[in-house]
Chain A
């Protein structure tokens, strides 16, 4: 079974621009979560989507948004990029069946650099 895929793997953007990252979950997984990883803050939860609905949201500004499609694929968008948004963005999927909803499988990440 193919793992979680994320595109693109690397991205360089300029401050003030916006960016869209894509994630395809493991086949059959219906929950998709996004995390931001930085050297200073570590791994932080952004949001979780299930059946095209945002179920949970972390403590990030409204510039960070996401969506999920009917095939469970998910995108996250960051508008008005700031230098501090430079990070590795990780997508994770889970089967969402009882306790398995916490068992998350991660993709390789998208490395975003804001200049």
Chain B
């Protein structure tokens, strides 16, 4: 079955430190992969996406992610975290249906940023 696993429920980093959020997926075909961010009481904002091609993708707000097929991973990184990055982050895989598609989400990783 298609699934997405985010092993870390909660991560705390210091402002200015680097960040890596882990994501592993289970999907038979070539996956379409996404990272979303959700601030408290808000909807989800698309940070970046991977469909094909270059395995290192750049997103908004200085985030990047690397697709590693051999590890079934799509980890999110940021070289220097800002206090405003504190939020919940969701990894998702686009699951094909007979027509159209849907997103299967991981359980999310809550990021706290220490001053």
**CB within 8 Å of B: which residues of A?**
4, 6, 31, 33, 35, 42-43, 45, 48, 50, 55-56, 58, 90, 92, 96, 99, 101-109, 111
Contact = CB atoms under 8 A, between A and B. Distances in A.
A31 B107 contact: no
Interface string B79-106: 0000000000010001001011111111
Interface string B27-71: 000001010100001111110010100000000000000000000
A103 B104 CA distance: 12
Question: Chain B's interface: helix, strand, loop or mixed, by majority?
Answer: strand
A108 B100 contact: no
B101 A90 contact: no
Given A55-B97, A106-B36, A45 B104 contact: yes
Contact of A56 (B36, B44, B99): B99
B49 A103 contact: yes
Contact of B102 (A58, A103, A107, A109): A58
A36 to B, nearest CB: 11
B44 A90 contact: yes
B43 A99 contact: no
Contacts of A103: 34, 46, 49
B100 A50 contact: yes
Given A106-B36, A107-B43, A109-B43, A56 B90 contact: no
B49 A42 contact: no
B94 A42 contact: no
A111 B41 CA distance: 9
Contacts of B101: 48, 56, 101-102
B46 A105 contact: yes
A50 B34 CA distance: 22
A48 B101 CA distance: 8
